[in-house]
């Protein structure tokens, strides 16, 4: 086997149940049959989900867990990173969050030939400090904006250069050929016999993910006589313990213990979505919303906040429904529309299933490979990257 053209180190702080972590694992899985890029993976911190660790280790990649306690700044972690960089002749470090970015910058200070890629996942923080902008402009060779909303943030804040590449998902685990339409489901089991099943997926941190809004909306729906149950699925970590406890207290205080169930630190999203009649994303801010794409792929109608990334994925009344951000009554209105109009729900899910094909993980992988190659030019000018076409890459133009 010839040496792969480009050696890329994927660097991330944790391997918890979250969107950035899942995106990375899906990218690595989609890359297994392509030899133009060879990946090495480094997980900096101790926060590692056992199921995700097992999945990563099953890919037969060079994987390192540095087991760093969060917040520790000991030089041994930098030395370990530099040894990995030298050992695997790393060309590019691709980092996925603020913590990993700082370690990557330190590596580049000591090895200036390294190229750094940073994926910007969110539209928050709304403003970067002068020092942050200087770090990005000086050390980051390419930013990846995961949506048009994030690209607008990069442009506004001067995070140059940037490329807008939509996140993608592996569609196959979510497709369900045996799924009944909501009309068919209600012919077999009415909401009186079996409640409308709502699923929400996202870290149980309500200041961002807005689970409190959904809980209040379910309470209002129950008061109006709707028969609804909901599963709130997501990770709970040290920083989100207080949020999770507050959500539990809210459910209890509103008398919704029979209606709302928490599914904590689970990874079986496809299986949970198969049981859903409706998916709700009540986030207060969101760079894109991979879970929206997953629900669409699974044939589940979607309601989401009319914000940032989700509004790029959903055309209201066509591929899903949007409600006004942070407005419980607006969310209640959209839930009631699904509850009382199953024909509408089926039309939304059908259109969304066609739309989501454009976000297959292969398109994202292809765009990433092109980006990596562009950073290596002119080194690889005479070793042009090529492979069978996988379709047009959505908005993959460098700025």
* The architecture CATH gives domain 182-357: 3-Layer(aba) Sandwich (3.40)
Per-residue confidence band for 177, with pLDDT thresholds at 50, 70 and 90: confident
| Angle, helix 50-57 to helix 19-30, in steps of 10 degrees | 20
**What is the model's pLDDT at position 396?**
43
SS (H, E, C) 69-87: CCCCCCHHHHHHHHHHHHH
Q: Are 150 and 157 in contact (CB under 8 A)?
A: no
**Least confident segment among 106-110, 173-177, 182-186, 309-313:** 173-177
**What is the model's pLDDT at position 2?**
55
258-316 residue pLDDT tens: 999 999 999 999 999 999 999 999 999 999 999 999 999 999 999 999 998 999 999 99
Beta bridge partners of 229: 197
d(CA 225, CA 219): 10
Q: Count the neighbouring beta carbons within 10 Å of the beta carbon of residue 177.
A: 5
Q: Where are the domains of the chain?
A: 6-168+360-376, 182-357
Same fold across 6-168+360-376 and 182-357? yes
98-149 residue pLDDT tens: 899 999 999 999 999 999 999 999 888 778 899 999 999 999 999 999 999 9
**What is the model's pLDDT at position 4?**
59
Residue 12, both tokens: 């991330």
SS (H, E, C) 3-62: CCCEEEEEEECCECCCHHHHHHHHHHHHCCCCCCEEEEEEEEECCECHHHHHHHHCCCCE
For residue 247, pLDDT over 80 is answered with yes
For residue 323, pLDDT over 60 is answered with yes
Per-residue confidence band for 238, with pLDDT thresholds at 50, 70 and 90: confident
For residue 380, pLDDT over 90 is answered with no
Q: Count the neighbouring beta carbons within 10 Å of the beta carbon of residue 391.
A: 11
**Least confident segment among 60-69, 124-133, 155-164:** 124-133
Q: What is the mean pLDDT of the chain?
A: 92
**What is the model's pLDDT at position 387?**
39
The CATH number fitting domain 6-168+360-376, selected from 3.30.950.10, 1.20.1250.40, 3.40.50.720, 3.40.50.2000: 3.40.50.2000
């Amino acid at each position: 086997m010839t040496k792969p053209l480009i050696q890329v180190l994927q660097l991330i702080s944790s391997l918890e149940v979250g969107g950035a972590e899942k995106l990375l694992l899906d990218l690595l899985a989609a890359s297994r049959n392509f030899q133009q890029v060879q990946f090495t993976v480094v997980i900096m911190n101790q926060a590692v989900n056992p199921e995700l660790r097992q999945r990563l280790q099953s890919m037969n990649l060079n994987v390192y867990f540095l087991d760093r306690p969060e917040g520790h700044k000991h030089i041994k972690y930098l030395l370990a990173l530099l040894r990995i960089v030298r050992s695997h002749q790393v060309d590019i470090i691709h980092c996925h969050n603020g913590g990993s970015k700082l370690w990557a910058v330190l590596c580049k200070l000591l090895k200036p030939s390294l190229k750094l890629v940073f994926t910007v996942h969110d539209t928050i923080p709304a403003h970067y400090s002068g020092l942050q902008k200087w770090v990005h402009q000086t050390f980051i060779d390419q930013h990846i904006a995961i949506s048009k909303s994030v690209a607008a943030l990069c442009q506004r804040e001067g995070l140059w250069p940037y490329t807008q590449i939509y996140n993608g998902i592996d569609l196959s685990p979510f497709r369900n050929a045996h799924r009944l339409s909501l009309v068919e489901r209600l012919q077999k089991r009415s909401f009186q016999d079996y409640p409308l099943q709502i699923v929400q997926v996202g870290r149980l941190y309500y200041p961002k993910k807005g689970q409190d809004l959904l809980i209040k909306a379910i309470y209002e729906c129950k008061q109006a006589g709707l028969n609804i149950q909901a599963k709130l699925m997501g990770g709970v970590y040290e920083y989100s313990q207080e949020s999770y406890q507050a959500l539990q207290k809210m459910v209890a205080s509103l008398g919704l213990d029979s209606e709302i169930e928490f599914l904590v630190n689970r990874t079986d999203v496809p299986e949970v979505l198969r049981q859903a009649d409706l998916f709700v994303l009540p986030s207060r801010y969101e760079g894109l919303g991979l879970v929206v794409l997953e629900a669409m792929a699974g044939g589940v109608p979607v309601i989401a906040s009319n914000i940032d990334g989700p509004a790029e994925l959903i055309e209201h009344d066509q591929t899903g429904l949007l409600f006004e951000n942070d407005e419980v009554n607006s969310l209640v209105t959209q839930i009631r529309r699904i509850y009382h109009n199953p024909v509408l729900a089926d039309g939304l899910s059908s259109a969304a299933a066609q739309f989501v094909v454009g976000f297959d993980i292969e398109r994202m992988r292809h765009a990433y490979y092109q980006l990596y190659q562009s950073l290596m030019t002119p080194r690889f000018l005479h070793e042009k990257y090529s492979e069978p076409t996988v379709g047009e890459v959505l908005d993959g133009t460098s700025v």
